[in-house]
């Protein structure tokens, strides 16, 4: 046992570890395990039926692809926003900085209704899309719009501090050694912020998968086309099918968990490579 | 989900605390758990009842009302929200309070008059002003090029009435041929471009987003939309036949006995049948059951063929729910991948 406990100069390791475990159990593990227990009442056969039903598979595809696309969009544009906020000085910067957090503060249902109003065929923005024969609200594209909105702060807020830490001297040194601007970005800045960017990406992605409130108002909710998995969970609850509902939740959880694990592995690999 | 469960538990215990501390005084609190479109109705009725009860017994009764999707509200009661009375959109949801939690007896619906439904409603069609697509009846909803707005019956109680009204119409016009009815309803849903999760969502999609040519909705909701947006935006179309929608009410036995509020809770529901209660229902566009009040509001409620009923046409909620709206039921078959 003694080898298990790493000695630290700081006192209070036992207390801190105990507290961490207790806190995690209360907040995360107990609710999650009750999810698994409820699902277990279905048995393997029942779980398999839910997991492989056409409707559930289609909704998972919709949920994960729209979340992925939204997270990619956020990674790209969130990086640009973070870049602008860190590297440039301009009037009103504080206000723009505060705006970034707004999607966190706004109730998601309000966000969904607002976006649906904007992007509906008769909305401010929707009418221009409609003129080009592009439908945004009530299609999977609408879901991406909503998920991009709610995911933006994750990327900006994770990349921003890391980017601020990249010292200008390093870039100057690289430039003085003959690196062009693109090389400086690619070889000096990007490797430094890549782990943070990945973290922001995975946070935005994970957040989008579980999103219900904002999506429901803009998705149109057509089965097989724009029906997200959380809606199917609600539909099951309406039928008092608690076990079926938790089964979908467990599937989503397992998928998200393995994806996040893969992203973590990628992050670990990239930071190891960077250390060399 | 977990959080809402916790909050309901907290509210319930807070409420219990309030109730127990007041059990000797003359202040009584009732909790009425209801569904979405009754907000305005119960706001008015609760004040009227408080006045009536004060005059009759001298006690001060304050009724708190909670509104939400009917199924969600039933689940809150099952999960421990200590409602004294439930006033929901369909009997199936109150049945669930018996089936899942045994808080009320199985025969709850026979305890009050008219299947425990003091007021009724029906399903009508709301179209844009001037009725540009010339929609007269259910049969016009399956025509190509007509966009129909109705919520998902799997997540919305109101949408179930919509679906069943259309089904009932098709039955009557095809000599009760169930497969013809299914074909009709399938065609209708081909014309639905957006399936909102609740009745209010569909109303917003139709009235504010400008999507669709016709909205299938509660009669009271249709009047409310006209009131809200002005008479010059929408017209109500009364179909040749529709369904008699009975939103039932029930005292939740286990909780009124626990709170000691049985007497006042029962009086609260019975007073809905009184002339004053009926008048308030009519003013809020619910069809009154009292003959005198019905006569007075004759003009407002168009005489309709409401011979489609859940019991006679469909054999009760339990059967209907299982056949049509359960997983793999008829509604899911309509939406199998083509």
The interface predicted TM-score (ipTM) is 0.75
| pLDDT reported for residue B32 | 96
Kindly report the nearest CA distance between residue A174 and chain B, in angstroms. 52
Distance of residue B108 Cα from the nearest chain A Cα, in angstroms? 20
Residue B50: its pLDDT value, please?
95
Question: What is the model's pLDDT at position B97?
Answer: 94
pLDDT value for B200: 84
Is B335 in contact with A116 (Cβ distance < 8 A)? no
The answer to whether residue A192 is domain-embedded is: yes
**pLDDT band per the 50, 70, 90 thresholds, residue B37:** confident
* Residue B31: strand, helix, or coil: strand
User: Nearest Cα to A55, choosing from A227, A253, A268?
Assistant: A227
pLDDT of residue B1: 45
Q: Are B261 and B28 in contact (CB under 8 A)?
A: yes
Domain range B2-117+246-296, CATH architecture: 3-Layer(aba) Sandwich (3.40)
Q: How large is the average pLDDT for residues B80-89?
A: 95
Q: Does A138 contact B327 at a Cβ distance shorter than 8 Å?
A: no
**Per-residue confidence (pLDDT) for residue A13, from 0 to 100:** 84
Average pLDDT over residues B32-41: 90
Average pLDDT, integer, range A161-175:
88
Q: Is the pLDDT of residue B21 over 60?
A: no
Q: Which residue intervals of chain A are DSSP H helices?
A: 13-24, 30-40, 43-52, 54-87, 93-99, 102-105, 108-119, 126-131, 140-165, 168-176, 181-183, 190-210, 215-218, 229-238, 242-275
Average pLDDT on A103-111 reads: 90
Per residue in B129-149, pLDDT (tens digit) is 999 999 999 999 999 999 999
Residue A33 inside a domain? The answer is no
Decide if A116 touches B, using CB distance below 8 A: yes
Q: Are B234 and B226 in contact (CB under 8 A)?
A: yes
What CATH code would you report for B120-245+304-334?
3.40.190.10
Q: What is the pLDDT of residues A184-200, one digit of tens each?
A: 888 889 988 999 999 99
Residue A176 tokens read as 């003085």
Q: What is the pLDDT of residue B22?
A: 46
A121 phi and psi, to 5 degrees?
Answer: -55, -25
Section A140-144 average pLDDT: 95
| Mean pLDDT value of segment B3-28 | 56
Q: Is residue A12 part of a domain?
A: no
Q: Is the pLDDT assigned to residue A276 strictly greater than 60?
A: no
CB contact under 8 A, B337 and A221: no
Name the β-bridge partners of B234.
Answer: B128
pLDDT band at B110 (very low <50, low <70, confident <90, very high): very high
Domain total in chain A:
1
Instruction: Look up the domain containing A202 and give its range.
Output: 44-275
pLDDT band at B26 (very low <50, low <70, confident <90, very high): confident
Out of B75, B155, B337, name the one closest to residue A224 (CB).
Answer: B337
User: DSSP secondary structure string, B40-83?
Assistant: HHHHHHHHHHHHHHHHHHS-EEEEEEE-S-HHHHHHHHHTT---
Banded model confidence at residue A171, pLDDT cuts 50, 70, 90: confident
* A38 lies in some domain: no
Give contacts of B 64-83 with A, CB under 8 A.
Answer: 71-72, 75, 78
Interface of B with A in 113-152 (CB under 8 A): 152
Q: Is the pLDDT of residue B236 over 70?
A: yes
Q: Find the CATH number of the domain harbouring A213.
A: 1.10.3720.10
Nearest C-alpha in A relative to B70: A238
Average pLDDT on A112-129 reads 92
Cα separation, B141 vs B190, in Å, equals 10
Tokens found for residue B277: 């209660």
CA dihedral (A246, A252, A255, A258) positive or negative: negative
Which candidate from B71, B99, B196 shows the least CB-CB separation from A238?
A: B71
Q: What is the pLDDT of residue A179?
A: 86
DSSP secondary structure of B284-320: TTPEE-SHHHHHHTTTTS---EEEE-HHHHHS-HHHH
CA distance A221 to B98: 31
Paired residues of B62 in beta bridges: B29
Q: What residues contact B181, with CB distance under 8 A and at least 6 apart? A: B167, B170, B171, B174
Q: What percent of chain A has pLDDT above 70?
A: 96
Question: CA of A109, closest CA in chain B: separation in Å?
Answer: 11
Return residues 208-267 of A near B (CB < 8 Å): 216-217, 220-224, 231, 234-241, 244
| Residue A141 is assigned to a structural domain of this protein | yes
pLDDT at A61 over 70: yes
Are B2-117+246-296 and B120-245+304-334 in the same CATH fold?
A: yes
A70 pLDDT more than 90: yes
Max Cα separation, chain A? Answer: 71
Is A149 within the bounds of a domain?
yes
Identify all chain A residues contacting B197, using CB atoms and an 8 Å cutoff: 216, 221, 231, 234
Q: Compute the mean pLDDT over every residue in chain B, rounded to the nearest whole number.
A: 90
d(Cα A166, Cα A197) in Å, to the nearest integer?
14
| A54:B336 CB<8 A | yes
Residue-wise pLDDT for B278-332, tens only, equals 999 999 999 999 999 999 998 889 889 999 999 999 999 989 999 999 888 999 9
Q: What is the pLDDT of residue B24?
A: 46
Supply the mean pLDDT for chain A: 90
Restricting to A residues 8-37, those with a Cβ less than 8 Å away from any Cβ of B are 31
Q: How confident is the model at residue B3 (pLDDT cuts 50, 70, 90)?
A: low
Nearest to A234 among B78, B197, B204 (CB): B197
Residues of chain B positioned with their CB less than 8 A from the CB of A58: 337
Are the CB atoms for A194 and A148 separated by under 8 Å?
no
Confidence band of A275 (pLDDT split at 50, 70, 90): low
Adjacent-strand bridge partners of B277: none
CA distance B204 to chain A (A): 10
First to last CA, chain B: 34
Is the pLDDT at B213 greater than 70? The verdict is yes
Cα dihedral A239→A243→A244→A247 (10° resolution): 150
In chain B, domain spans: 2-117+246-296, 120-245+304-334
């Amino acid at each position: 046992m003694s080898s298990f406990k790493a000695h630290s100069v700081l006192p209070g390791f036992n207390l801190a570890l105990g507290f961490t475990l207790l806190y995690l159990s209360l907040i995360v593990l107990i609710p999650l395990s009750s999810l698994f227990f409820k699902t277990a009442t279905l048995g393997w056969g029942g779980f398999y039926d839910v997991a492989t039903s056409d409707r559930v598979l289609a909704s998972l595809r919709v949920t994960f692809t729209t979340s992925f696309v939204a997270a990619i969009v956020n990674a790209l544009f969130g990086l640009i926003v973070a870049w602008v906020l860190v590297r440039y000085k301009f009037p009103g910067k504080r206000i723009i900085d505060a705006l970034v957090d707004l999607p966190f503060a706004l109730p998601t249902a309000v966000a969904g209704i607002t976006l649906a109003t904007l992007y509906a065929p008769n909305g401010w923005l929707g009418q221009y899309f409609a003129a080009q024969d592009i439908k945004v609200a009530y299609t999977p594209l609408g879901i991406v719009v909503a998920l991009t909105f709610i995911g933006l702060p994750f990327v900006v807020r994770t990349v921003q501090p890391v980017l601020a830490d990249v010292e200008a001297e390093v870039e100057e040194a690289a430039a003085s050694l003959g690196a062009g601007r693109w090389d400086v970005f690619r070889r000096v800045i990007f490797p430094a912020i890549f782990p943070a960017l990945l973290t922001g990406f995975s946070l935005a992605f994970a957040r989008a998968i579980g999103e219900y409130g904002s999506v429901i108002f803009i998705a149109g909710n057509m089965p097989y086309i724009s029906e997200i998995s959380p809606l199917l969970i609600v539909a099951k609850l309406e039928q008092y099918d608690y076990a079926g509902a938790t089964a979908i939740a467990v599937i989503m959880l397992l998928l998200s968990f393995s994806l996040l694990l893969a992203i973590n592995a990628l992050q670990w690999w990239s930071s190891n490579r960077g250390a060399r | 989900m977990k959080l809402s469960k916790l909050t309901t538990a907290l509210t319930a215990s807070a409420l219990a605390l309030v109730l127990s501390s007041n059990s000797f005084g003359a202040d009584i609190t009732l909790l009425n758990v209801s569904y979405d479109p009754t907000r305005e109705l119960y706001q008015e009725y609760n004040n009227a009842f408080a006045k009536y009860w004060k005059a009759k017994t001298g006690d001060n009764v304050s009724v708190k009302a909670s509104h939400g999707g009917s199924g969600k509200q039933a689940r809150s009661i099952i999960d421990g929200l200590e409602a004294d009375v439930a006033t929901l959109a369909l009997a199936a949801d109150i049945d669930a309070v018996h089936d899942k939690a045994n808080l009320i007896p199985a025969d709850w619906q026979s305890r009050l008059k008219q299947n425990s439904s003091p007021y009724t409603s029906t399903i009508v069609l709301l179209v844009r002003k001037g009725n540009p697509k010339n929609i007269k009846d259910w049969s016009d909803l399956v025509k190509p090029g007509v966009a129909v707005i109705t919520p998902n019956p799997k997540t919305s109680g109101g949408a179930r009435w919509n679906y069943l009204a259309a089904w009932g119409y098709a039955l009557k016009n095809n000599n009760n041929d169930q497969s013809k009815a299914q074909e009709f309803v399938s065609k209708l849903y081909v014309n639905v471009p957006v399936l909102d999760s609740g009745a209010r969502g569909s109303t917003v999609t139709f009235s504010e987003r400008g999507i669709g040519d016709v909205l299938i909705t509660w009669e009271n909701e249709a009047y409310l939309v006209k009131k809200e947006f002005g008479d010059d935006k929408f017209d109500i179309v009364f179909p040749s036949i529709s369904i008699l929608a009975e939103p039932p009410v029930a005292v939740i036995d286990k909780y009124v006995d626990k709170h000691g509020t049985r007497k006042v809770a029962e009086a609260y529901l019975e007073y809905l049948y009184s002339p004053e209660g009926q008048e308030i229902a009519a003013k809020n566009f619910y069809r009154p059951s009292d003959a005198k009040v019905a006569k007075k509001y004759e003009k407002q409620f168009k005489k309709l063929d409401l011979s489609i009923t859940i019991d006679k046409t469909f054999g009760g909620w339990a059967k209907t729910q299982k056949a049509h709206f359960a997983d793999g039921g008829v509604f899911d078959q309509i939406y199998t991948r083509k």
